[in-house]
Structure 1
């Protein structure tokens, strides 16, 4: 059985919400190991989370996923170091657990929802 992108996005949301609570970044390798997906496949799974955060005017939860250099991947908007650190602080100060996991339908709906 193949897990679809919206379901994987829910898994990732939960992992990142807990990491954020502890003010921790995660490498792509760590995140991949946590959910059983190789790091090269994570970009398409992070995209719905980023789009959801943008649509709901939330800090970009995906900014805490970083490479070995401590920076998000090249696909992350505003990848200037100062901006990344500012956005990470915003993520760390948000109570993601109180927000709750949006669920697969929110990630399947796309950015217009």
Structure 2
């Protein structure tokens, strides 16, 4: 499976989390995807982060957090203020959007 296919899977997880006003730790996402650890999350979250920025959507990746700090990683350059961004993500109607395709994530990727 390509990283963009994995990004599509994570997109689905995160929009469900937004609807439920919750977040996932990197480890929880890794477990759901069947990974041995959370070390590869940045390369999978990056295309989602850039896609949201390209389309002026709230930063959905704010809902993927470090287990210890309960905050997104510092590499998420699209965040302004985490608590405000999180509320914007919760308030946004993600299910109104057509789900992005793998190619969409590939085109948005800056990694």
Q: How does 1:1-113 map to 2 (within 5 A)?
A: 3-37=1-35, 38-68=37-67, 69-77=69-77, 83-110=81-108
Assess if the C-alpha contact under 8 Å between 1:51 and 1:111 holds in 2: yes
1:31-79 alpha-carbon deviations (Å, 9 max, x no partner): 1111123210111000000000000000010011111211101212266
Distance 1:78 1:97, change over 3 A: closer
Runs of 4+ with >4 A deviation: none
**TM-score, reference length from structure 1:** 0.88
* Structure 2 alignment gaps of length 5 or more: none
Assess if the C-alpha contact under 8 Å between 2:26 and 2:64 holds in 1: yes
Give the RMSD, CA atoms, in angstroms.
1.7
Q: Secondary structure at the match of 2:39?
A: helix
Assess if the C-alpha contact under 8 Å between 2:46 and 2:109 holds in 1: no
Q: How many residues align?
A: 108
> 2: CA distance between counterparts of 1:91 and 1:29?
21
Q: Secondary structure at the match of 2:105?
A: helix
* Structure 1 alignment gaps of length 5 or more: none
Q: Secondary structure at the match of 1:20?
A: helix
